[in-house]
Amino acid sequence: MKRTKKIVVWGLCISFIVILAVLWTCNQIVTSNASGKTCDDIDCVQYREVGLLLGTTPQTRIGNRRNLFFKYRIDAAEELYKKGKIGKILISGDENSLDGINEPECMRDSLVARGVSAEDIILDGKGFRTIYSVINANQVYGFKSFTIISQRFHNERALYQAEHLGLDVEGLQAFNATSPVSELAIMTYVREYFARVKMFWDLWTFDEKEGVFLKKAG
């Protein structure tokens, strides 16, 4: 009995270490890939025809509070547009998220209210996930070079996906919106570690010729 318990404990410990190692490795790969490609200072951003604004909802899913991720992304997109760093804004998100909320439309309305021309805004309601947003920007809307707009952690993952999906892209960069600091925000940052692991699975199951995800047997 004691021997069995010992084996179980060792098995759990080894599994925990392996999981931590995978999380750390995936995180390091994504972060390293984004080195020199993301900007906190708008002065380091090079002009691109379009900014790819990654969608989110105005309210949080937990507690229905004001979503600062949303606000800060709007702030960043507005700043890029008004300072002439981008000519158009492609807003990509879920058109039926969080009880029917249309992420791209909510973001468009916020930007228009701040003086961004509606004619310079393109809506992609099929950006159900980040990986679809970068695929659509290139394969559906035909943009080869663009500035990704979101928080740093999100930008790093989006950059890696865009550059490793076999898309026809070049000169990608990202502008980092302010990252919120709160208990809910911390949950998002923790979840990102797992999202980066899943990202590699997505990349492995993506058929670049067909532009679809394959269901590969284990």
**95-129, pLDDT tens digit by residue?**
998 778 999 999 999 999 999 999 999 999 999 99
Residue 35 lies in a domain: yes
47 in any annotated domain: yes
Q: Which of 65-69, 76-80, 98-102 has the highest mean pLDDT?
A: 76-80
Q: Residue 217: pLDDT above 50?
A: no
Q: What is the pTM of this model?
A: 0.90
Query: Which of 157, 145, 18 is closest to 87 using CA atoms?
Result: 145
**CATH number of the domain that 112 lies in?**
3.40.50.620
23-39: average pLDDT: 96
- 155 — pLDDT class (breaks 50, 70, 90): very high
pLDDT, residue 206, reads 78
Q: How many CB atoms lie within 10 A of CB 201?
A: 11
- CA torsion, ordered 110, 114, 116, 117, to nearest 10 deg: 90
Could you tell me which residues are beta bridge partners of residue 66?
Answer: 59
The answer to the question of residue 109 being in a domain is: yes
Question: Quick check: is 181 in a domain?
Answer: yes
User: Please, are residues 53 and 90 in contact by the beta-carbon 8 Å criterion?
Assistant: yes
Residue 207 located in a structural domain: yes
Rounded Cα–Cα distance for residues 34 and 83 (Å) = 24
A 10 A CB-CB count for 84 gives 8
Q: What is the SS3 assignment for 18?
A: helix
Domain count, the chain: 1
The residue range of the domain holding 188 is 2-213
Using only C-alpha atoms, the chain has a radius of gyration, in whole angstroms, of 19
Asked, for residue 218, whether it belongs to a domain, the answer is: no
